[in-house]
Structure 1
Amino acid sequence: MPVTTSDAAFRESLFDALGDDEGADFWQGVYGQPIHNYSRTYADAETGELETMDDKQYAQYVRRKMWEKSAEGLQAAREERRRERKEEESRRRREQHNEKQKPRKMSHTLDDPIFDFEIEASLRRGQDRKDKRRWQAIWQDYTERWKELQQIYESRKGPSADDGEQIFLRNKIAWPVESGKRKDVEADAIEAFFRKVSDIQQTEHDHAMPLSSVIKVERLKWHPDKIQQRFGFMQVESGTMDGVTAVFQVLDRMWTELRTSHTSKP
């Protein structure tokens, strides 16, 4: 390759810059960076031996390195990386498309971890469905018993109500725990009950009430004064009222926590 005037000028300026500050300043202004004193040695690709570049080779090497570091070189490198990324994305999309087209195979050997994972996932989904149906039935029974209790109240509050029949509130009230029994009325069980039924409603209905709305309604329902006012015509034992108070306290705490959490959000 013939030596051009540009190559010769660069070589001359290079060696001048390496030994003179003013020359170095000139090329720093051209390339936007200082001239670097790169090593003259390189490893021969065939022999692996260290070789030393002559002045011409060294000047070409430095010029190429300076161009790579220049704005034009950086832009070219960015374009190259962008092209490589596009090619890589296209390759991944092709692989994903090809993978989707393949028929899914499942090994049925007992020691196949993929098969074991599929079986476990299927069992979990089945258990989740059973759990959801069970809690739907629990919630339905809870709401139906409260409707019946409300009907008793409506039938007894008129002036012509027959007060001859003695009714025990403990036999009619629906306790908000999984078992529905007074003996299981504890704080953790009450909170778990309302959170569980609220989760089920959210998954079943797009417009189901959120937990805060459920707690707001139930809190008013379970207020001890409200219970005494509505169902005082029944036999209300101290143990029953203790349970009512315990339920209200949990609902009141949950209501306060939910309101605090809502107001503290930015």
Structure 2
Amino acid sequence: MSDKKVDDATGVETTGHSWDGISELNNPLPRWWLWTLYATIIWGIAYTIAYPAWPMISGATEGMLGYSTRGEVATQIAEHEAKNEDLVAQLVAADLETLPPSDDLHRYAVSRGGAVFRANCSQCHGSGAAGAVGYPNLLDDDWLWGGDITNIAATVAHGIRNETDDDARWSEMPAFDEILEDAEIAAVVEHVISLSSPDHDASITDQGAAIFEENCSACHGDAALGNRDIGAPNLADAIWLYGGDRSALEHSVRNARFGQMPAWGQRLSEADVRAVSVYVHALGGGE
């Protein structure tokens, strides 16, 4: 005996589902809809065979066509480089110090360098190159190692205090926590503050000046104007890499600072190093 139920009004078999006395009819799906479904299934199977699709342990299936979006991008980049081949060669061979801002090559270098900066440098120095605590502002003229185009290019290429490039910029301030007493650290901090701010404790600045002369002037200079040959910062200009309040200065004196920068010459092409150096120099703080 059949369990199938037929709707009396239409004569169509029902699914057995009923809501408030209304039965669901088991009408067949339209042929066009079924063929569309079958076509999409076949297309999906063909796609996973032809193109990279199935995830594996260390990658994905390559597909019979060997297509790669990364390969496509690499091809587009290569085509772009080929179009600019002459400019790249000129940039690599150019004397950056004498390259006039009105020159087409300079404009190309700034444009290319801006892209390099946004992709590799903005994470630390900021999208506008204004820096942050511990990351130098590249818009002003306060440079630890010099802000002319040659020094900027050298800093970009070799980096600062890294272990991967023998020509990296290198300086190291001693931690005075175990060298000076607390009162001596407080005094030298007040002396440093007094060099650029009237808000200081004058009663101990003379003592701080004597401590500074004995322990700090060898690097920072007698007038605390710094020494670019060894990357010693100017302490008299009120521009601070790690902050100029008492807490930040005391931390610097007690524990020293040791910021690092990668050697971009090991990661970027010579043209990119030169381009980003021109870009940074052109931001307004280059000397």
TM-score interval, smaller chain: under 0.3
Which of structures 1 and 2 has the larger relative contact order (alpha carbons within 8 angstroms, sep 6+)?
Answer: 2
Q: Which structure shows the higher helix fraction?
A: 1
**TM-score, normalising length from structure 1?**
0.27
**TM-score, normalising length from structure 2?**
0.26
Larger Rg: 1
